[in-house]
Structure 1
Amino acid sequence: MELKLENNLTHQTVPVEGVATVVEDSIQEAPKASHQNPVLRHELSGMALQAVRQKAGILEKATKQRVTRYMLTEKIKSLPHHCLLDIKMETGTGKTYVYTRTMFELHKRCGFNKFIIAVPTLPIKAGTAAFLKEAEVKRHFSRVCGYGAEIELCLLEQQKKKQKKKGRQNMPSSVGHFFYGTHHTKDKIFVLLLNTQLLTNGKLLTREDYDQMLGAFHKPTDAIADTKPVLIIDEPHRVERGGKSYADLINEFRPQLVLRYGATFPELTVGKGKNKHAVKDYQELVYDLNAADSFNHGLIKGVAKEHLELPGGKKAEKKVKVLQVVKGDCANLKLTTADKTSKTFTVHTGDSLGVIDNDLDGVAVDAITKNSICLSNGQEKQTGEEFFPDQYGVSYQEGMIELALMRHFETERENFCRDGLPIKTLALFFIDSIESFRGPNGNNDGWLRKKFIELLSARIEKELARQNTKEYAAYLKATLDNIEASCAGYFAQDNNDSDENIANEVKTILHGKKELLSFTDNEGKPNVLRFLFSKWTLKEGWDNPNVFTICKLRSSGSETSKLQEVGRGLRLPVDSVGNRISDSSFMLNYIVDFTEKDFANKLVAEINGELEAQQKSPLSITAEDIIKVAKMRNIEVNQFFIELMTKGYVDFDKNVVPYKFDDMLVEYPEFKNMAGGLNISRINNRNSNRSEKIHIRKARFEELRELWAQLNRKYILYFDKEIDNKIATELPLIIKEKQVFSLQTVMSSRKILGFEDNIAVANEGSHIELTLSNRHYAYNEFLKRATRHTNIPIQILHKAICEAVNNGCKIDDDMFNDSSLTRLIWAVDDWKCKQLVGRVRYKQANYMMKETKLTNADGTVKDEVVQAYIGNKTEAGTPPLKYLYDNFAHDSGLELQNIKTEIDEVIVYGKIPSHSICIPTVASSNYSPDFMYVVKRADGTKELNIVIETKAYDKESYIAPDEETKISCADEFFKAMTANGYTVHFKKQINSNSVKNIINELVTTSDK
């Protein structure tokens, strides 16, 4: 494949045109020698600067942030004079392309052909060099853009150490090639590319004892300076003007013009005493593509942040990490709490972990090996591994990996099966311990890598069980067949590793961008590599447009820019032949641990905090705004303002507390269209979505109050009498055939919807699948728990287990554990689904819920409902007036289509909150349908009550058997309700059948 470049993207052509206009209007004279650039005036053209800023949308107030010379430190003042232009472009928007095209434009318009590109790190240097050497890049600028020229790359590298010898040394050849490049060669642009360490750490360019001269110069930097170069600085926050690197670049190269390109600019402290303050170090800002505009205009991916919570929705408030161990002696463990405070403990063999946290009482250290500790509950924790005290059976890393894999395959499935060419989907994992991946001997056999392969294999098996396209199923199967090749790592220490396999991994990750983006290798075989591991080595300078998931298995070491952290995955993706895809709204899955659960709020605050004052500040609310929203909510203005302050959203000056900005717009969405800044739908906090609220339209509710009351009546499920005898007879065989009892830990092969006492049960809620721990139980406790989850009497369970043993089942005491209990529950559920469909009965109970999801105990309508009960996804806009809620919350495209569909006969309709209509089923779960409708007949005389279950499948045969079982039970439930005098029509909907067709058919049928 070839990466395709576009030449007409406005956000890239505007800064190129801007810089070229200013420079062209500031030329003083032609080059004095053939190896030199034209000479610029001492000051850049003020009129050109003003025109360029106006065209770029940077108003005068913003330009006042420029740091004028009298405010600068003495260190900066003392540097040789140079003109300076700043171009701010957010990560992922193509600044390397922009400054490369700027060089071509300055060559075409003004005759400049000597440029220095200074980068702060080797990875950035490697990435820039690869870009400039790329054949497609050369073709693009020469032919597509019509420049008819090409770049002669003079790559400056650290010379390999040689044995000392007497006499002079050879000058770097790249410097000579750069110096002697002449402007008489019209189609050549000479670019010297170096990392700043070559200038600051060593004498490669500053020594004077080389055995040849460049023109009249013994010293390389003097020769370079004589070309009157243009200096381009990439990542200016890493090359601050007050630091040594910047000073060396200016002092040694003496550029007449410096162009700084970056997403982040450093800050300078200016002023004295009370006037001392920090200011962004923009000197002459000519273009500002800020983060808010980049997100809002779809120039980069959005971000969907998510942190891992405990099974069952319990929030993780603390974790324990194994820091280091001394075999046979002791281990150091660190406890970290939600507020990021930590404490280290030293434990010895036989010690209880209760000294670390009360939730670990009863767990002791049985043994300490070379790389791990063995616990009395049968678990082994490796060095570097983390786990929850209150759910110590679930490894924190395992849970995060499983969450990341779930998000990855959700995205990959969509990208692979999209209309048009497929998109290769990559995931990037940042880890804490290199040894956990490479292994103690560097053999790529670390415990974390092994665990990842195990979890990945299990996840792919689940994905293969879905209804997939033939092509995607083949790709998944190829991954499973070559699972070891699906992941690779790059760490700084790998640069000195002689292992061939590791060297190939590093080469692919650092330099094989096209290989990573391809679905096949050079031999046409499936290329399954798409899971990458590093330890923050892949920072600025490394990027791949098809990274859709970043999982931080380690926390950030410092409060660095949040935009820098997510930058590795913000670029818009390319398809399988290299076309950039910009007509879709892509999201980056960003998985962090619970100590960074406020990441989304901080990211929003950082983005909005960078906005200039040319527009209304996104972090302030005017008095007019408060009056408008107060009227919308029918609240007295002063009372509403006090409410906002009480909740910590605003201060006395009506300024929003930055880290509360996202939360305020969630609770008061009316402000969304009033506040400037970031469209918060582009930074999505998946965890907070589960507790966000949406408003109930009370007038609409009154139209369906009677239907809602009837739906919330409680019904009892019962079976034919012979069922008890049948389960007692067949249970021993079920236990034997399903291999219920085992020491093997359960790796869920079905969707775990929730947990109760660490047992997987079918309660709707959490959508995260986790490996279960293997807690052991006394036999009587095991029976009690099994009875509670299966509704089978203890006597029948005990008799069945004894009979299974008599029939050859080997059951040891250790097998009475969480995994066996989960397998027993699933086996009984499967049996019930096969045997009891069509044999269930429902009887109305003499009980009604006082409080429901939509009403209070006194029957009044609630103001709002938790969004997660209605749908995990939202869309901007206002739903039709007949809809029950003021928000487009939904779980699928089919549900969203239903919400948007307006039907004349419908009086009112709405999503049924989950957990509300609890229809008991034959499985160990309750069931709640999706939509409720109140509809008039064609003659308008009688209302029809309709409940619809939506399944976003193309065929009914795609509906899973357990879902069909629940739907069958619901059908019997509504028949029972009709028999009790309240008629409700229950219908099943799939993609091929619109809700309008369903309702029209019912209306027509009922009128006959």
Structure 2
Amino acid sequence: MKIKFKVQPYQTDAVESVVDCFSGQLFNDNISYMIDPGSEKGKLALEEGFKNTDLQLTHAQLLDNIREVQRRQNIPLSEGLNTYWDAEKNKATPKGYIAGCDVNLDVEMETGTGKTYCYIKTIFEMNKRYGWSKFIIMVPSIAIREGVYKSLQMTAEHFTEGYGKKARFFIYNSKRLHELESFSSDASINVMVINIQAFNASGADNRRIYDKLDDFQSRRPIDVIRANRPILILDEPQKMQGNATQKALPEFNPLFILRYSATHKVVHNRIHRLDALDAYNQKLVKKIAVRGIQIRGLAGTNAYLYLESIEISKQAPKARLEMEVRLASGEIKRQVRSFTVDTNLYDESNGLDQYRGFTISQIDYNKDAVEFTNGVTLTAGEATGDVNEDHIRRIQIRETIKAHLEKEKQLFAQGIKVLSLFFIDEVAKYRDYDQPDDKGEYARVFEQEYEALRDEYLSELAIDNEDYRKHLAGIDTGKTHNGYFAIDKKTNRMTNPKTGARSVDSDDVDAYDLILKDKERLLSFAEPTRFIFSHSALREGWDNPNVFVMCMLKHSDNTISRRQEVGRGLRISVDCNGDRMDHPATVHEINELTVVASESYQDFVKNLQSEISDAVASRPKKADEQFFLGKFMDTEAGKVKIDERLARQIYRYLLKNDYIDDDDQISAIYIDAKANDTLEALPDDLAPFAAEIIDLIDSVYSEAALPKIDDGRKPKTNPLNSNFEKKEFQELWNRINRKAVYRVDFDSKELVGKCISALESELRVTPLQYTIHTGEQKGSITDEQLRAGDSFKVTNTKTEQGASVHSQVKYDLLGKLSEQVHLKRQTIAEILTGIQPAVFGQFKQNPEHFIAEASRLINEQKASMVIEQLQYDETADSYDVDIFMASQSKQDFSKAGDKLKRHIYDYAITDSRQERKFVMELDTSDEVVVYAKLPKGFLIPTPVGDYNPDWAISFKEGSVKHIYFVAETKGSMSSMQLREVEKSKIKCARKYFDEINKRIADDNVKYDVVTDYAKLMDVVGVR
């Protein structure tokens, strides 16, 4: 499969920000010059070269353009073309020529948002608008170089379709100088990718770029490069601040320099900003969850315990603990088990003394904690007692597999392959060639933990998840994990990558080639590899979009920030067709990166958010009048400058609604209101500029806007909250929780007659059809057509009907229909013998379709007749409150929105966008006291199957006619869009609730089907 690329507005904005800085530059391509022929011998073969047109704009014009771009994004205006901001010195510094070029433009884009795509597109757009064709992409490491080259390959077809031309690209190599010759002599778009080590190091190979070379006609490669006046694109320029690189840049004689990074240390002219807050809040990257592991000592004991999680079951919550157990053989082994309150771990360990006194006294699913009678408390993710590094690594591997399986179960049906990535310090931990099976410690532990968890998942998977069950059971354990490391060419064995003397980055091309070559293949379900082990030094080469779980099985160090680590998995995922999973309504439901850390959740989150906060330090901090004054807003009538009056009105709006605090900083109230789409309306004078004003407010830094980093274990539980105990809900629950049975009497002959009539008028069986395509090979075939399987064309298509492929199969027609409609064989025989021979004759044309359609029509008639005679009788039994806590850990929390105020649970697990909207309206309605998404266990028996209503709602007394309401929400009320079985169940439910109202004699419980909150209020009747 191929990853598909599409035009995205935020990336287009980044491209236009750069290109518009040169507005007024005339289009001029193919500016020719004579390439330096070098030696006397070389003069016999003079060649014409093509260089970039010089800038025709004055410094004043350029600065005006840059400021215009900055204004439209509310970025601080550049003081001068040659002024830059030194983040380390925290001051602006005037300087003449920076790196030999007086035009330096900075583009800030968060990791994972596609900055490589953006500057490649910028290359094409610059060529289209201005004719420039010579570009050099400069990178700080082998890792990034190989990634950029792969991106150029992957996007080539996409940009050819968009711009009608191809770019020629290559990696600079001093031993392949013919490519440099072509770079100069070719008139089309040419892109050279070069890493800084190729020109700023002192080795003989690296110095060749500055030497006169015999194999290059006694010319210096750098002279040939500089004659092209190339446009330099620096990828991660903050890593190129060394003296050697800075001194070398002028040697390239760049026309201008574009600098792309998520974390600029030195800012020249920032023309575009898409920082960590923008990327997260605009849902352009994955959200983050963390599973932390904390070690704590217990005084006076070496009892090993690890609390993996708290699980909610139908009976009571359980603590999933890992502990030591004495086996019958006398061997002591660590096992993971689930325990309830009052469990004595001494007994469970078969008499290990260290567990004396460890009896579970409380399991708190709200705090995710378990307490013991000896006073010890553990929270999820904590390990205590005899814990060493090997134990922590095993726990990390187990947690990674668990997180992977949970995510995979959710995404498999959507065609999204889940990948998990382990970073390790040395190959021997994964592949140990001194062992008989070549498996290292981590590979061995992985297989042990994977098989145990896989078998557990297979035993718990719901019946309706059969496809995923088959997929999971069909993957061989040994093939589902793989190592991506450098290969020693002599021994053909994995080896640790080479790293530079002063760098943690790998300089090993072979290792990156392995990873990048498999990038797209790994996204296919046909490829069994789902778990990847790679060297920590290779981190920058890994940016596969479908990495959903990351685990750092390495020693902690200070050379890599947490932002760098999580950056490898932030890209938005793709499905098996290569389409991005970026629909605004579901992007963060699907795209969540789980990081399994070797530190506590609190520590990891605190440090990560601190790094994000530091990275957005350049944002304004206060939303006061002064901030808004002088800003421009785009309107249909043109630009509007915010004057003192408008600035004061905006400020008052924020103040009045508590959207700013006493220090004029954006408050959490604003952030929450915006997230929930409940912002107060702007005053009339400001209403025409609402979108622009909100954008301005959003550009102010707010601690409350930092990404919400979930605890990766927490979403498994959805506890009942205090709303459940409210008298309004308890009174509603007591009215509807009584169980009932139904009885029905109907005339069998009447049913037979109605079924015959329905079959004769509506039974339409589709005959089996065969389509025959005739084709011939195309006249001229390109290599591209052959590779794409496009070398033949269809000349004729013919559709024919044929006999049933099952014509030799003997069917028990009466038995099949009797089984599917729950009627006696004799009744089915009466129906079939009563229909016209022509109708029954359709059976031969397609037996399977005949049985399916006949069953449907008979069931519909049966339901219609039964419901007319249906009666409900209450029993002495009632539903226990336990049904509200049953199967909590099996819920798909990707369908849960924000924490709610009036719901009996903290979250509502919804089935559709329609339901999500309905929840938000219920939760913010003044008329609603409390409401509940009814649990799956609350069932009303009907002749066509058990029925589970959606919602139970209690209203404020006096606000509506019906205080209590049980609702079924449907996206459409059209009977054409409701299946017959659904309609039948709804009719039965109406009768059921009619019986309830007869019992309680106050007619306060209402049941109906509604499409939205407005329809609900129509039905309950506002007083």
TM-score range, shorter chain: 0.5 to 0.7
User: Secondary structure at 1:193's aligned position in 2?
Assistant: strand
Are 1:599 and 2:604 an aligned pair?
yes
User: Residue 36 of structure 1: which of 51, 54, 61 is its match?
Assistant: 51
Shift of 1:156: 2.1
Which residue of the partner structure matches residue 282 of structure 1? 267
Shift of 1:407: 1.9
User: Residue 71 of structure 2: which of 54, 57, 63 is its match?
Assistant: 54
Are 1:701 and 2:756 an aligned pair?
no
Describe the shift of the 1:618–1:189 C-alpha distance in structure 2 as closer, same or farther (beyond 3 A).
same
Aligned residue-pair number: 673
User: Residue 890 of structure 1: which of 905, 908, 911 is its match?
Assistant: 908
User: Secondary structure at 2:430's aligned position in 1?
Assistant: helix
Describe the shift of the 1:496–1:514 C-alpha distance in structure 2 as closer, same or farther (beyond 3 A).
farther
Which residue of the partner structure matches residue 414 of structure 1? 410
Moved more, 281-290 or 672-681: 672-681
Which residue of the partner structure matches residue 753 of structure 2? none
- What does 1:301-340 align with in structure 2 at a 5 Å threshold? 301-308=286-293, 310-311=306-307
Shift of 1:305: 2.1
Describe the shift of the 1:414–1:697 C-alpha distance in structure 2 as closer, same or farther (beyond 3 A).
closer
Which residue of the partner structure matches residue 122 of structure 1? 142
Share of identical aligned residues, percent?
24
Equivalent position amino acid for 2:392 in 1:
Y
Shift of 1:39: 1.6
Work out whether residues 431 and 554 of structure 1, in 8 Å CA contact, stay in contact via their aligned partners in 2.
yes
Aligned-partner Cα distance in 2 for 1:39–1:410: 57
Aligned-partner Cα distance in 1 for 2:473–2:649: 60
Describe the shift of the 1:912–1:64 C-alpha distance in structure 2 as closer, same or farther (beyond 3 A).
farther
Which residue of the partner structure matches residue 283 of structure 2? 298
Which residue of the partner structure matches residue 141 of structure 1? 159
Describe the shift of the 1:517–1:14 C-alpha distance in structure 2 as closer, same or farther (beyond 3 A).
same
Work out whether residues 307 and 383 of structure 2, in 8 Å CA contact, stay in contact via their aligned partners in 1.
no
User: Residue 483 of structure 2: which of 482, 489, 510 is its match?
Assistant: 489
- What does 1:472-551 align with in structure 2 at a 5 Å threshold? 472-479=468-475, 482-491=476-485, 498-499=492-493, 508-520=514-526, 527-551=527-551
Which residue of the partner structure matches residue 203 of structure 2? 202
Which residue of the partner structure matches residue 128 of structure 2? 108
Moved more, 536-545 or 21-30: 21-30
User: Secondary structure at 2:536's aligned position in 1?
Assistant: coil
Provide the TM-score with structure 2 as the length reference: 0.54
Aligned-partner Cα distance in 1 for 2:386–2:650: 46
Describe the shift of the 1:54–1:665 C-alpha distance in structure 2 as closer, same or farther (beyond 3 A).
closer
User: Residue 441 of structure 2: which of 433, 437, 447 is its match?
Assistant: 447
Aligned-partner Cα distance in 2 for 1:47–1:679: 33
Work out whether residues 137 and 191 of structure 2, in 8 Å CA contact, stay in contact via their aligned partners in 1.
no
Equivalent position amino acid for 1:212 in 2:
D
User: Residue 710 of structure 2: which of 681, 684, 694 is its match?
Assistant: 684
Work out whether residues 301 and 587 of structure 1, in 8 Å CA contact, stay in contact via their aligned partners in 2.
yes
Shift of 1:306: 2.4
Work out whether residues 16 and 101 of structure 1, in 8 Å CA contact, stay in contact via their aligned partners in 2.
yes
Aligned-partner Cα distance in 2 for 1:670–1:617: 23
Aligned-partner Cα distance in 2 for 1:619–1:406: 48
Aligned-partner Cα distance in 2 for 1:576–1:62: 49
User: Secondary structure at 2:574's aligned position in 1?
Assistant: coil
Work out whether residues 898 and 907 of structure 2, in 8 Å CA contact, stay in contact via their aligned partners in 1.
no
Shift of 1:528: 0.8
Which residue of the partner structure matches residue 581 of structure 1? 581
Shift of 1:544: 0.4
User: Residue 396 of structure 1: which of 383, 392, 403 is its match?
Assistant: 392
1:890-948 CA deviation, whole Å, 9 max, x = no partner? 356599799569699x985445999xxxxxxxxxxxxxx9998669999x9999899x9
Shift of 1:457: 1.7
Describe the shift of the 1:704–1:1005 C-alpha distance in structure 2 as closer, same or farther (beyond 3 A).
closer
1:334-380 CA deviation, whole Å, 9 max, x = no partner? xxxxxxxxxxxxxxxxxxxxxxxx99999xxxxxxxxxxxxxxxxxx
User: Secondary structure at 1:293's aligned position in 2?
Assistant: helix
Are 1:88 and 2:108 an aligned pair?
yes
Which residue of the partner structure matches residue 377 of structure 2? none
Describe the shift of the 1:68–1:252 C-alpha distance in structure 2 as closer, same or farther (beyond 3 A).
same
Which residue of the partner structure matches residue 797 of structure 1? none
Shift of 1:234: 0.9
Equivalent position amino acid for 2:453 in 1:
R
Shift of 1:406: 2.1
Aligned-partner Cα distance in 1 for 2:399–2:63: 54
Describe the shift of the 1:528–1:423 C-alpha distance in structure 2 as closer, same or farther (beyond 3 A).
same
Aligned-partner Cα distance in 1 for 2:985–2:223: 76
Which residue of the partner structure matches residue 977 of structure 2? none
Are 1:429 and 2:422 an aligned pair?
yes
Aligned-partner Cα distance in 1 for 2:254–2:26: 14
Shift of 1:492: 5.9
Work out whether residues 486 and 511 of structure 2, in 8 Å CA contact, stay in contact via their aligned partners in 1.
no
Work out whether residues 290 and 712 of structure 2, in 8 Å CA contact, stay in contact via their aligned partners in 1.
yes
Shift of 1:545: 0.7
Shift of 1:58: 2.6
User: Secondary structure at 1:597's aligned position in 2?
Assistant: helix
Describe the shift of the 1:83–1:512 C-alpha distance in structure 2 as closer, same or farther (beyond 3 A).
same
Work out whether residues 152 and 190 of structure 1, in 8 Å CA contact, stay in contact via their aligned partners in 2.
yes
Aligned-partner Cα distance in 1 for 2:490–2:253: 36
Aligned-partner Cα distance in 2 for 1:36–1:61: 29
Shift of 1:429: 1.5
Aligned-partner Cα distance in 2 for 1:688–1:598: 17
1:561-605 CA deviation, whole Å, 9 max, x = no partner? 433221111111122122222113221122212345333344344
1:59-85 CA deviation, whole Å, 9 max, x = no partner? 538999962699778999684344211
- What does 1:804-819 align with in structure 2 at a 5 Å threshold? none
Describe the shift of the 1:630–1:91 C-alpha distance in structure 2 as closer, same or farther (beyond 3 A).
closer
User: Secondary structure at 1:538's aligned position in 2?
Assistant: helix
Which residue of the partner structure matches residue 4 of structure 2? 4
Aligned-partner Cα distance in 1 for 2:514–2:609: 34
Which residue of the partner structure matches residue 921 of structure 1? none
Shift of 1:538: 3.2
User: Residue 152 of structure 1: which of 168, 171, 182 is its match?
Assistant: 168
1:81-133 CA deviation, whole Å, 9 max, x = no partner? 44211111111111111111222222223232222111111121112222223
Describe the shift of the 1:172–1:130 C-alpha distance in structure 2 as closer, same or farther (beyond 3 A).
same
Are 1:1001 and 2:992 an aligned pair?
yes
Work out whether residues 122 and 195 of structure 1, in 8 Å CA contact, stay in contact via their aligned partners in 2.
no
1:698-739 CA deviation, whole Å, 9 max, x = no partner? 9x935357789999xxxxxxxxxxxxxxxxxxxxxxxxxxxx
Describe the shift of the 1:869–1:449 C-alpha distance in structure 2 as closer, same or farther (beyond 3 A).
closer
Aligned-partner Cα distance in 1 for 2:125–2:97: 31
Equivalent position amino acid for 1:582 in 2:
D
Describe the shift of the 1:497–1:64 C-alpha distance in structure 2 as closer, same or farther (beyond 3 A).
farther
Aligned-partner Cα distance in 2 for 1:593–1:995: 52
User: Secondary structure at 1:206's aligned position in 2?
Assistant: helix
Aligned-partner Cα distance in 2 for 1:62–1:209: 40
Which residue of the partner structure matches residue 438 of structure 1? 431
Work out whether residues 139 and 234 of structure 2, in 8 Å CA contact, stay in contact via their aligned partners in 1.
yes
Describe the shift of the 1:557–1:494 C-alpha distance in structure 2 as closer, same or farther (beyond 3 A).
farther
Work out whether residues 870 and 889 of structure 1, in 8 Å CA contact, stay in contact via their aligned partners in 2.
no
Aligned-partner Cα distance in 1 for 2:465–2:955: 38
Describe the shift of the 1:909–1:105 C-alpha distance in structure 2 as closer, same or farther (beyond 3 A).
closer
- What does 1:979-998 align with in structure 2 at a 5 Å threshold? none
Work out whether residues 486 and 531 of structure 1, in 8 Å CA contact, stay in contact via their aligned partners in 2.
yes
Which residue of the partner structure matches residue 223 of structure 1? 224
User: Secondary structure at 2:259's aligned position in 1?
Assistant: strand
Describe the shift of the 1:654–1:12 C-alpha distance in structure 2 as closer, same or farther (beyond 3 A).
closer
Describe the shift of the 1:572–1:254 C-alpha distance in structure 2 as closer, same or farther (beyond 3 A).
same
